[in-house]
Amino acid sequence: MPPVLPDFSNSVKLKYVKLGYQYLVNHVLMLMLIPVMAAILIEVLRLGPEEINLLNSLHFDLVQILCSCFFIIFIATVYFMSKPRSIYLVDYACYKPPVTCRVPFATFMEHSRLNLSSNPRSVEFQMRILERSGLGEETCLPPAIHYIPPTQTMETARVEAEIVIFSAMDSLFKKTGLKPKDIDILIVNCSLFSPTPSLSAMVINKYKLRSNVKSFNLSGMGCSAGLISIDLARDLLQVHPNSNAVVVSTEIITPNYYKGNERAMLLSNCLFRMGGAAILLSNHRSERWRAKYHLVHVVRTHKGADDKAYRCVFEEEDKEGKVGISLSKDLMAIAGEALKSNITTIGPLVLPASEQLLFLLTLIGRKIFNPKWKPYIPDFKQAFEHFCIHAGGRAVIDELQKNLQLSAEHVEASRMTLHRFGNTSSSSLWYEMSYIEAKGRMKRGDRIWQIAFGSGFKCNSAVWKCNRTIKTPTDGPWADCIDRYPVHIPEIVKL
């Protein structure tokens, strides 16, 4: 039909214009260099070979030559010394819960009805949340939560911690060939379970780590603590040369299953599931060849100065004295604000020049000409090949997909991780990376953006670059089910 064709040709034209613009701006330096090189070449050809006798024409003597050499060597040394060390992610291992921990929807709902028998409205609420949650039928809860009522004691919490952490660490040792004695730095993050001695002490005791290991235990820092741990590891690895750092990210569910009726607090019961990951980072130059990724940027944004953001994820007692984590209604709005803040910082670091220029121009335009212009949202798809958005819940992923204008394939890793494993808090980013690898999509040079949100309210990002094309792994949490994915997740699952 005649009306359609012009539209089509218009959009094609627009696409080529856009591509042309991007190429031009991103390679402007190279493009400027070409005429310069051409000019020099023409000059050289014109002058002829006899006149090219630079050494003679410059009239240097020995002292000047030596000084110049030393100067060059000095500059080079200063440059190499002050360059930050490269941080390599050698490998990581995610915990795969056994089938004995599996919790289908029907079982979860039944247990809820029995545990909350005095308040059927809370049960109805949980059912509605579960139907729309985006979780699948294979997510897992620790053994203590399978009891009616759950057997929440210090002992059962420790049992869960041991199962998850030791399993992930054993997996990591096997994959990387790392010996426990070679661990120089150990960082464990688990937000809601913080016993004494700490979980990092538990790891040191189990694996008999060295007495001068630098251990840290981060608690209370929410779902974004995984990237905080990575940031801490990076800073430590700058100071300590030739070191290995192991980061363990997990969330222990057993002590935190909410037993009351408050709706804002019941939400976390529906979404949080068992999971954990152990990551090996190193600054050894020799790891350059076998490391999977290297760390490019970590950007941390904290909105805690704002009272509303501070209180939006708050652990407190309900009217009956039962402790739970209350999620406020403005969570999504605050998350959006935190994301904007984070993007503003990370944008200039990662976006190609073309996008930055457009953003700058629109910003100037809005300030000077017309504030009603739509703000230009930079196209982050130009900066990254893969996105790992913390699988905090379906709403979070939907919101980010909308804000960053991502396609379904970009958020596939996040959605499928939410479906298969639930919200495993700080370790979910690693399950997502594992998904991308399992699908064979991780190629050398790919850039990955990990975004996590957490209580506080924090938005943390990490940017990794893939060091070598990764073959589809035969082990790992997705090995037995990757062929079934991606699955279509219905809007509402009928229970």
Partner 1 sequence: MPTMVAAAMESPVWGQKLSSVVPAKVTGDNKDFELTNMDLAMKLHYIKGVYFFQSEAVQDLSVRDLKEPMFQWLEFSFTTSGRIRRSETGRPFIKCNDGGVRIVEANCDKTIDEWLATNDNHQSPDHLLAYNQVLGPDLGFSPLVFVQLTWFKCGGMSVGLSWAHILGDAFSASAFINMLGQIMAGQIPSKSFQVHNPKKSESPNPSIPGKPFSLKKVDPVGDCWITANNRKMETHCFHVTAKQLHHIESTTYQPSQIDNISCFEILSAIIWQSLSKIREDSGPRIVTICTNDYLKMRENEMPTNGMTLSTVEADFSVSKGEIVELAKLIAEKRMPENGLIEELLQGNEEGSDFIVYGANLTFVDLEEANLYGLKLKGKKPVFVNYTINGVGDEGTVLILPGPEKEGGKGKIVTMTLPEYQIEKLKNILENDWNIA
Spell out the residues 6+ positions from residue 28 whose beta carbon is closer than 8 angstroms to its own.
353
* Contact status: 68 vs partner 1 (CB under 8 A): no
CB of 274 to partner 1, least distance (A): 15
**β-strand 185-190 against 313-317: which pairing, if any?**
unpaired
151 binds partner 1 (CB under 8 A): yes
Give, rounded to a whole angstrom, the gap between the first and last alpha carbons of the chain: 47
Residue number with CB closer to partner 1 (100 or 212): 100
The helix or strand, by DSSP H or E, that contains position 460, with its residue range, turns out to be strand 458-466
CB 259 within 8 A of CB 115: yes
| Cα–Cα distance, 401 to 397 (Å, whole number) | 6
Nearer to partner 1, 31 or 148 (CB): 148
Tallying the residues shown for the chain, one arrives at 495
Query: Using CB under 8 A, which of 47, 66, 128, 149 touches partner 1?
Result: 149
Of 31, 147, 348, 349, the one binding partner 1 by CB under 8 A:
147
Query: 284 has which bridge partners?
Result: none
Q: What is the DSSP string of 299-315?
A: EEEE-TTSHHHHHSEEE
Please give the backbone phi and psi of residue 154, each rounded to the nearest 5 degrees, phi first.
-60, -40
Task: Determine, following the binding rule CB under 8 A, whether residue 163 of this chain makes contact with partner 1.
Answer: no
Q: Which is nearer to partner 1, 110 or 409 (CB)?
A: 110
Instruction: Find the part of the chain contacting partner 1 (CB under 8 A) among 49-57, 147-155, 397-405, 427-435.
Output: 147-155
Q: Is 52 or 487 the residue whose CB approaches partner 1 more closely?
A: 487
- Looking at residues 352 to 391 of the shown chain, list those that interact with partner 1 (rule: CB under 8 A): none
Render the burial of 158-167: b for 16+ CB within 10 Å, e for the rest: bbbbebbbbb
**C-alpha to C-alpha distance for 346 and 134, rounded to whole angstroms:** 29
Q: Quote the CA–CA distance of 281 and 245 in Å, as a whole number.
A: 5
For the chain, the C-alpha Rg in angstroms (whole number) is 27
CA 246 to chain centre: 17
Minimum gap (Å) between residue 336 Cβ and partner 1:
35
Size of site (CB under 8 A) for partner 1: 22
Of residues 103-132, those binding partner 1 (CB under 8 A): 103-107, 109-111, 113-114
The DSSP symbol for 322 reads -
Stretch that binds partner 1, among 70-78, 81-89, 146-154, 341-349 (CB under 8 A): 146-154
Cβ atoms of 269 and 126 within 8 Å: the answer is: yes
Query: To which residue do tokens 């941390």 refer?
Result: 300
Residue 171 makes CB contacts below 8 A (sequence gap 6+) with 93, 94, 95, 278, 475
Task: Compare residues 122 and 176 and give the one whose CB is closer to partner 1.
Answer: 122
User: What are the residue numbers of the active site?
Assistant: 223, 302, 386, 390, 419, 423
- Of residues 181 through 210, those in contact with partner 1 by CB under 8 A are none
Residue 32 lies near partner 1 (rule: CB under 8 A)? no
Residues 132/268, Cβ–Cβ less than 8 Å = no
Nearest distance in Å: CB 104, partner 1:
4
Regarding 137 and contact with partner 1 (CB under 8 A), the answer is: yes
Given the complex with partner 1, which of 88 and 108 has the nearer CB atom?
108
Indicate which single residue of 27, 85, 146, 465 sits in contact with partner 1 (rule: CB under 8 A): 146
Of 74-82, 140-148, 193-201, 269-277, the segment contacting partner 1 by CB under 8 A is 140-148
- Angstrom distance (rounded) from CA 416 to CA 486: 7
Q: How far is the CB of 140 from partner 1 (least distance, A)?
A: 11
- Hey, which residues between 83 and 102 contact partner 1 (CB under 8 A)? 99-100, 102
- Give the range of 22-30, 143-151, 245-253, 388-396 binding partner 1 by CB under 8 A: 143-151
Strands (E), 287-357: 293-302, 313-317, 323-327
Shorter beta-carbon distance to partner 1: residue 99 or 305: 99
Q: Which is nearer to partner 1, 38 or 148 (CB)?
A: 148
CB neighbours (10 Å) of residue 314?
A: 14
238 binds partner 1, rule: CB under 8 A: no
Q: Is 148 in the site for partner 1 (CB under 8 A)?
A: yes
- Footprint of partner 1 (CB under 8 A): 99-100, 102-107, 109-111, 113-114, 137-138, 146-149, 151, 494-495
